[in-house]
Amino acid sequence: MTFLNEDLISRNENKRFIKKVCNVKVLKRKLPIVEWLPKYDVGAFIQDLIAGLTVGLTAIPQGIAYAVIAGLPPEYGLYSSLTAGAVYAIFGSCKDISVGPTAILSAITAKYVSSYSADFAVLATFLSGVLILTMSVLRLGFLVEFISLPVISGFTTAAALQISASQLKALFGLTGSSGNYFAESVYNFVLNIKTINPWDLLLGLCTVMALVFLKRLGEDCGPKDAITKKIRWLICLSRNAVVVFAGMVTAYILKDHFENQSLNLIGEIKGGLPEFGLPPFKTVLNNETYSFIGMVEVLGPKSLVIPLIAVLEIIVLSKVFSMGNPVDATQEMFALGLCNIIGAFGKGMPITGAFTRSTLNHVSGVKTTAGGIITCILIVLALTLLTSTFPYIPKASLAGLIIAAVFSMIDIPTVNILWRSSKRELFVLLITMFVSLFQGLEYGIVAGILAEAFVVMYKEARPELDFRIIRDGRNVLVIKLTKYLLYCNAENIRRKSLKLSVTYYDSVLIIDGANLSYLDFTVASNLMSLIKDLTKNSRQIYFVNFDSDIKNMCLDIYPESSNHFVNTESYLDVLGNVVKFL
Q: Please spell the DSSP secondary structure of 196-265, one letter per residue.
A: --HHHHHHHHHHHHHHHHHHHHTTT--TTS-HHHHHHHHHHHTHHHHHHHHHHHHHHIIIIIS----S-B
Q: Each residue of 30-57: b (16+ CB within 10 Å) or e?
A: eebbeeeeeeeeeebbebbbbbbbbbbb
Instruction: Determine the pLDDT at residue 57.
Output: 83
Instruction: Please report, in angstroms and rounded to a whole number, the separation of the first and last CA atoms in the chain.
Output: 67
Q: Has residue 582 got a pLDDT over 50?
A: no
Region 89-98: mean pLDDT is 88
Compute the Cα dihedral for 51, 53, 59, 62 and give only its sign. negative
Instruction: Map residue 485 onto helix, strand or coil.
Output: strand
Note the CATH architecture for domain 466-581.
2-Layer Sandwich (3.30)
What CA–CA distance (Å, rounded) separates 398 from 132?
Answer: 30
Instruction: Determine the pLDDT at residue 398.
Output: 87
Instruction: Map residue 60 onto helix, strand or coil.
Output: helix
pLDDT mean across residues, the chain: 83
Cα 253 to chain centroid, rounded = 43
Radius of gyration for the alpha carbons in the chain, expressed in angstroms and rounded: 31
| CA distances to 161, 162, 178, 189 from 186, in Å | 10, 9, 8, 5
Instruction: Determine the pLDDT at residue 205.
Output: 93
Instruction: Determine the pLDDT at residue 206.
Output: 93
Q: Has residue 35 got a pLDDT over 50?
A: yes
| Single-letter amino acid code for the residue at 246 | A
Instruction: Determine the pLDDT at residue 172.
Output: 92
Instruction: Map residue 149 onto helix, strand or coil.
Output: helix
Residues 6 or more apart from 146 whose CB is under 8 A from it? 449
Give the pLDDT confidence of 183-216 residue by residue, as tens digits: 888 888 999 998 999 999 999 999 999 999 988 8
| CA distances to 147, 380, 538 from 446, in Å | 10, 38, 51
Q: Has residue 279 got a pLDDT over 90?
A: yes
Give the domain ranges of the chain.
43-409, 412-461, 466-581
Element (H, E) at 475: strand 475-480
Count of CB atoms within 10 A of residue 214's CB? 19
Q: Has residue 550 got a pLDDT over 90?
A: no
Instruction: Determine the pLDDT at residue 179.
Output: 74
Instruction: Determine the pLDDT at residue 56.
Output: 87
What CA–CA distance (Å, rounded) separates 193 from 185?
Answer: 12
Instruction: Map residue 70 onto helix, strand or coil.
Output: coil
Instruction: Map residue 289 onto helix, strand or coil.
Output: strand
What CA–CA distance (Å, rounded) separates 61 from 517?
Answer: 59
The count of residues in the chain is 582
Q: Which of 53-62, 260-269, 296-305 has the lowest mean pLDDT?
A: 260-269
Q: DSSP assignment of 371-435, as one string? A: HHHHHHHHHHHHHHHSTTTGGG-BHHHHHHHHHHHHGGG--HHHHHHHHHH-HHHHHHHHHHHHH
pLDDT tier, 114 (very low <50, low <70, confident <90, very high otherwise):
confident
Q: Shortest CA distance to 348 belongs to which of 356, 339, 357?
A: 339
Residues 6 or more apart from 346 whose CB is under 8 A from it? 79, 82, 83, 274, 275, 276
Q: Has residue 293 got a pLDDT over 90?
A: yes
pLDDT tier, 233 (very low <50, low <70, confident <90, very high otherwise):
confident
Q: Which of 139-143, 405-409, 432-436 has the lowest mean pLDDT?
A: 139-143
Give the pLDDT confidence of 207-226 residue by residue, as tens digits: 999 999 988 888 888 777 78
Rounded to 10°, the helix 521-536/490-503 angle is: 20
pTM given for the model: 0.74
Burial of 208 (0-12, 13-18, 19+ CB in 10 A): buried
pLDDT tier, 259 (very low <50, low <70, confident <90, very high otherwise):
low
What CA–CA distance (Å, rounded) separates 424 from 82?
Answer: 43
Q: Has residue 326 got a pLDDT over 50?
A: yes
Q: Has residue 16 got a pLDDT over 60?
A: no
Q: Has residue 578 got a pLDDT over 50?
A: no
pLDDT tier, 6 (very low <50, low <70, confident <90, very high otherwise):
low
Q: Which of 43-57, 490-504, 537-551 has the lowest mean pLDDT?
A: 490-504
Percent of the chain with pLDDT over 90: 19
Q: Shortest CA distance to 57 belongs to which of 363, 360, 329?
A: 360
What CA–CA distance (Å, rounded) separates 132 from 334?
Answer: 7
pLDDT tier, 7 (very low <50, low <70, confident <90, very high otherwise):
low
Instruction: Determine the pLDDT at residue 324.
Output: 60
Beta strand 541-544 with 466-471: parallel, antiparallel or unpaired? unpaired
What CA–CA distance (Å, rounded) separates 124 from 299?
Answer: 7
Instruction: Determine the pLDDT at residue 545.
Output: 81
Region 257-281: mean pLDDT is 83
Q: Shortest CA distance to 78 belongs to which of 56, 108, 53, 49?
A: 56
Region 361-385: mean pLDDT is 88
- Of residues 494 and 64, more confidence is placed in 64
Instruction: Determine the pLDDT at residue 504.
Output: 67
Region 384-405: mean pLDDT is 86
- Of residues 172 and 355, more confidence is placed in 172
What CA–CA distance (Å, rounded) separates 310 from 294?
Answer: 24
pLDDT tier, 506 (very low <50, low <70, confident <90, very high otherwise):
low
- For 158, phi and psi rounded to 5 degrees? -65, -40
Q: Are 349 and 76 in contact (CB under 8 A)?
A: yes
Q: Has residue 272 got a pLDDT over 70?
A: yes
Instruction: Map residue 37 onto helix, strand or coil.
Output: helix
Q: Shortest CA distance to 344 belongs to which of 74, 106, 127, 499?
A: 127
Q: Are 341 and 323 in contact (CB under 8 A)?
A: no
Region 227-241: mean pLDDT is 84
Instruction: Determine the pLDDT at residue 167.
Output: 87
Instruction: Determine the pLDDT at residue 429.
Output: 92
What CA–CA distance (Å, rounded) separates 171 from 107?
Answer: 17
Compute the Cα dihedral for 299, 303, 304, 306 and give only its sign. negative
Residues 6 or more apart from 368 whose CB is under 8 A from it? 36, 40, 44, 48, 95
Q: Has residue 470 got a pLDDT over 90?
A: no
Region 486-499: mean pLDDT is 78
Q: Which residues are bridge partners to 375 per DSSP?
A: none
What CA–CA distance (Å, rounded) separates 321 from 323?
Answer: 5
| Single-letter amino acid code for the residue at 235 | I
| Single-letter amino acid code for the residue at 79 | Y
Region 533-546: mean pLDDT is 81
Instruction: Determine the pLDDT at residue 132.
Output: 94
What CA–CA distance (Å, rounded) separates 41 from 269?
Answer: 38
Q: DSSP assignment of 163-183, as one string? A: HHHHTHHHHHT--S---SSHH
